[in-house]
Structure 1
Amino acid sequence: MSTAAQDALIQLMVVAASSDDAMSERELRRIETLVGRLPAFEGFDKGRITAVANACIDTLNGSHGLDQLVDDAIAALPVKMQDTAYALVVEITAVDLQLTQEELRFLELVRDKMELDRLVTAAIETAARARHRRMPR
């Protein structure tokens, strides 16, 4: 996969993590873990994560904002990677098992812009909840 597509995946995860106005240490660690383990990031220089994340935040704070960043990220992805991108976004938002309204709106925005099948997105969301569920105390 191209570096631009890998950067796009990271950008979407960073936006998901910061969509509730705060990127937690847990979310940052999850991004680093996913980049280090998933085949989609094969060949990616892990030392670039911070630079990609900072550029993403700069874009968010710039004149083009969220919609442009998401549009550009989706455009950089091969169509067959869109469900992977959505799964990564869901994975980051599910880390704390508490979805805020902002996170839910971001998921909806990404889902709509990618025009993913609703059954596919529901399956991705359910699988993420199951992976992050903790044993009752």
Structure 2
Amino acid sequence: MTKNISPPEALIYAMVTVSAADRAITTDELNRIGSIVRELPPFRAYTDDWLADAAQDCGKLLRKPHGVENVLDLVKATLTPELYETAYVLCAEVAASDLAVHHEEEKFLALLASNLEMDDLVCAALRRAARARHHQL
């Protein structure tokens, strides 16, 4: 494992990793991560510069051997169990933001759920809710 990070950074790492899972981070995904950081309480003390720095640090970690596994371990070690569902639903939001959840993103969500020992029904509900928020008229 690498350096210690804060819980908000762990959430960023999880969102960046799901976005990068299909090897193509879309503008919609980046915009969704930015709006999540601007809108949600865990990130209120942080600036856009911080988001860019955390995303770059995560990218460096992902490029190393076993990068995804290291991110998953870091997320679990950093977050309290109360934030596991938060991490999962934020990742589901990012994956759904471009209206196409790719196989690689689904695989990362499954790895995240397994690593955080989350209930399958809870995960299904969180994924469904994220998709519902991104349907277009």
- Confirm or deny a common fold (TM above 0.5): yes
| 1:93-117 Cα shifts (integer Å, max 9, x gaps) | 0012212111111011001111111
Give the deviation of 1:28 after TM superposition. 0.6
Partner of 1:80: 82
Identity level (%): 36
Which residue type is aligned with residue 112 of structure 2? V
Write out the 4+ residue segments of structure 1 that deviate beyond 4 Å after TM superposition.
none
In the alignment, the residues of structure 2 paired with residue 74 and residue 84 of structure 1 have an alpha-carbon distance, to the nearest angstrom, of 12
Query: Structure 2 stretches of 5 or more lacking a match?
Result: none
Q: Which residue of 2 aligns with 1:25?
A: 27
Asked if structure 1 preserves the Cα contact closer than 8 Å seen for 2:13 and 2:75, the reply is: yes
Gaps of 5+ in 1: none
Cα distance, 1:64 vs structure 2? 3.9
C-alpha displacement at 1:40, in angstroms? 1.5
Where 2:6 maps in the other structure, the secondary structure is helix
> Where does residue 14 of structure 2 map in the other structure?
12
**Once the 2 structures are TM-superposed, how far is the Cα of residue 42 of structure 1 from its aligned partner?**
2.2
Alignment of 1:1-137 (within 5 A): 4-135=6-137
CA deviation after TM superposition for structure 1 residue 74, in Å:
1.7
Q: Distance in 2 between matches of 1:95 and 1:120?
A: 20
How many corresponding residue pairs? 133
Task: Report the aligned-residue RMSD.
Answer: 1.2
Q: Distance in 1 between matches of 2:99 and 2:28?
A: 12
TM-fit CA distance, 1:72: 0.6
| Cα shift readout 1:13-47 (whole Å, capped 9, x = no counterpart) | 00111111011111111101000000121212332
Cα distance in 1, alignment partners of residues 66 and 119 from structure 2: 28
Offset, 1:85: 0.4
